[in-house]
Amino acid sequence: MLSVLVFILGLAVGSFLTTCIYRLPLQLSIVKPRSYCPFCRKQLASRDLVPVISLLLLRGRCRFCGEVLPRRYIYIELLTALIYLWCFFVFGSSLLSIKAMLLATFLIGITVIDLDYQLILDKVVIWLAGIGVFINLVTASLSLTDIILAVVTGGGVFLLIAVITKGGMGGGDIKFVAALGIWLGLKLTLLTVLLSFFIGGLGSALLLLTRVKKRKDFIPFGPFIAVGAFLSMLYGEQLISWYLAAILK
């Protein structure tokens, strides 16, 4: 029963995320006005805002103008709900589960915006950092020293890469990794950096092999950081233990 509630919560948060993802890059308020059709600009009624169900009942079209609404709305809602369930199954009914869900919410939003605009917004990173500080005050899971080392080291690695490659890494990526340090601490931040490069290498190679991207095309790195951070949050300790056990044999 609790897992059903978690899934419904994920759908609701995913629905709000679609609004944030659409409005934030356009410098629009995420609070006012109410949700509206991106084509005819008519405000949607409450019955049109039920996650997934409303779009299915309307066959994916706006009630007023009949235009086909982006399917990504349903995809983001379902993805958020499934990831919330994933966090719940890993951590159960705990503060750590809530922390993982909150972090995942930011990771999804940052990933989609970066894919759309090749941009990681400062305002989102600031909120990510601020809520990370609040979470640590509530849970006392990380020491201040650990957080500072994580922020400086994680951001510093990406800053160094940006300097060496003369812009091969964007400023948004640097700030993103630094903010993640507040959530993850030094050990898991370093793991995130390693995983992001490993996943990024595989992902980029796959995109090139399938000709989705060409060699000179820009491939945003934010999504790879996000995947690395999510895996580190859920399985970081196990991955580190497995690695240490493997090299010490």
Note the pLDDT of residue 69.
75
Prior bond to 33 cis, omega within 30? yes
DSSP 8-state symbol, 71 = T
Sequence-distant (≥ 6) Cβ neighbours of residue 157 within 8 angstroms: 177, 193
CB 78 within 8 A of CB 18: no
| 151/154 Cα distance (integer angstroms) | 5
Kindly report whether the global pTM for this prediction surpasses the value 0.85: yes
Domain ranges in the chain? 1-93, 95-249
- What is the pLDDT, as a whole number, of residue 48? 67
Give the pLDDT band (50/70/90) at residue 249. Answer: low
CA nearest to 108, candidates 11, 185, 242: 11
Per-residue pLDDT of 93-119, as tens digits, reads 899 999 999 999 999 999 999 999 999
For the chain, what is the total number of helices (H) and then of strands (E)? 8, 0
Q: Residue 4's pLDDT is what?
A: 92
- Asked if pLDDT for residue 168 goes beyond 90, the answer is no
- Specify the pLDDT at position 219: 82
d(CA 36, CA 20): 13
- Rounded to whole angstroms, what are the CA distances from 155 to 71, 138, 160, 194? 35, 24, 9, 13
